[in-house]
Amino acid sequence: EGYKKGKEALTILRRLVKQHLIPSLNKVASHYISKMTGAQRQVVEVDDDFEITVDGQPLNTLSGSGKAVANLALRLGLGQVLTNNVFSVFLADEIDASMDKDRAQNTALTLEYLSERISQILLVSHKYPQADYYIELEDNAETTIT
């Protein structure tokens, strides 16, 4: 009996979370993708089954750069929606690796814009984006694979 009540409660909770989360996530992610693509892309939508489209196109049909920027917009949006800026940290590794110069620049500008809302942004990159601090690891040229 307790298991059935718990299952019913979780079903109701899931529906309520989706009612709030999905519209908020779509709005915030769409804002970020527009900024990162210089308005070339406008709308990210996640449906009730968590299928993702960008401007009506399924995520899996986008280019590598398109997928990267859409996923980044969703990650940023989800972080903003779920934490409501309480735990404001963003970690990323080579997020602009597949992006052309313009898209990478727009993404860097978006992260700079986010620095007003997110207290810590930590990036791992082979590039040198605008940043307050850098930690450069030395090149290990002596290591070779044979």
pLDDT per residue over 70-127, tens digit each? 998 998 888 877 766 555 677 777 877 888 888 888 888 888 887 777 767 777 777 6
Residue with tokens 């969703």: 74
CB 113 within 8 A of CB 85: no
Please indicate whether residue 72 or residue 129 has the higher confidence score (pLDDT).
Answer: 72
* pTM score of the predicted model: 0.62
What single-letter DSSP state applies at residue 50? -
Q: Which of 79, 95, 69, 88 is nearest to 25 (CA)?
A: 79
pLDDT digit string, tens, across residues 23-36? 989 999 999 999 98
Per the prediction, the chain carries an average pLDDT of 81
Q: pLDDT band for 3, please (50, 70, 90 cuts).
A: confident
pLDDT value, residue 129: 63
Which of helix, strand or coil describes residue 91?
strand
pLDDT value, residue 99: 82
Q: In this structure, which amino acid lies at residue 146?
A: T
What single-letter DSSP state applies at residue 31? H
pLDDT value, residue 66: 92
Q: How far apart, in whole angstroms, are the C-alpha atoms of residue 62 and residue 85?
A: 30
Mean pLDDT confidence for 45-65: 93
Q: How far apart, in whole angstroms, are the C-alpha atoms of residue 47 and residue 99?
A: 26
Tell me how many degrees the CA angle 115-36-88 measures, rounded to the nearest 5: 30
pLDDT value, residue 43: 97
Q: Which two tokens stand for residue 73?
A: 């917009």
